[in-house]
Amino acid sequence: MAVILFKGFFNSQRDGTLVTAADVRLKLVMASFTGETEEDSVNVADFADLDEFDGVGYTELDCANVTVTFDDATDRMILDFDDGTFGDPVAAGTGSIYGIFAYLWVDGTDANDIALGFTDQGGFPATPANNAVNLTVAATGFMYSEQA
């Protein structure tokens, strides 16, 4: 199981583009996703294979009510947003859903949109069977970075 924050996440923190109300989006990816070995990726185009899920009815999730906060008690920068859905109903794809890829939408081009992170925690792999594919975000937020 992995949670990976890409170089684009840290660059966005530093330059101030990852802020509350940022346009964060999520894609479901399948097993050929190469991000687990490409931590230095800044933009979506940097990945050798994004391997986005392809089941009929699937749509990427445009996250609502995005917040970026700093928790002084834990020294964590927390990215959070509302629960959402990737479609309803969603049919099985050519492969199982392997995890969730998060990115910062800039203009809709892979060369400019910023890679944030990947997680395969929370019930993966999964295969939809003509049902809703929902995301329930943990009370502690979707992802965070913390000072060591």
Q: Write the pLDDT tens digit of every residue in 22-65.
A: 999 999 999 999 999 999 999 999 999 999 999 999 999 999 99
Looking at the DSSP bridge assignments, the partners of residue 132 are none
pLDDT attached to residue 64: 97
pLDDT band at 3 (very low <50, low <70, confident <90, very high): confident
Residue 90's identity, in one-letter code, is V
- The whole domain housing 19 covers 3-142
* Average pLDDT score, the chain: 93
1 pLDDT exceeds 60? no
How far apart CA 99 and CA 89 sit, in angstroms, is 19
- With a CB cutoff of 8 Å and minimum separation 6, the contacts of 33 are 47, 49, 50, 51, 98, 99, 101, 118
Assess if residue 147 is contained within a domain: no
Which DSSP string do the residues of 25-61 spell out, in sequence order?
EEEEE-TT--GGG-TT--BGGG-S---B---TT---E
C-alpha 75/C-alpha 25 separation (Å) is: 25
High-pLDDT (> 90) share of the chain, %: 74
Q: Which helix (H) or strand (E) holds 67?
A: strand 67-71
The phi and psi torsions of 11 (rounded to 5 degrees) equal -60, -40
148 in a domain, yes or no? no
**pLDDT tens-digit map of 73-91:** 888 889 999 999 999 999 9
Provide the 8-state DSSP code for 64. S
Is 132 among the domain residues?
yes
Domain count, the chain: 1
pLDDT tens for 112-124 read: 999 999 999 888 8
User: What pTM was computed for the model?
Assistant: 0.93
Would 24 be classed as within a structural domain? yes
56 lies in a domain?
Answer: yes
What pLDDT was estimated at residue 147? 73
Predicted local distance difference test score (pLDDT) of residue 136: 94
Predicted confidence (pLDDT) per residue in 97-114, tens digit? 999 999 999 999 999 999
The answer to whether position 25 is within a domain reads yes
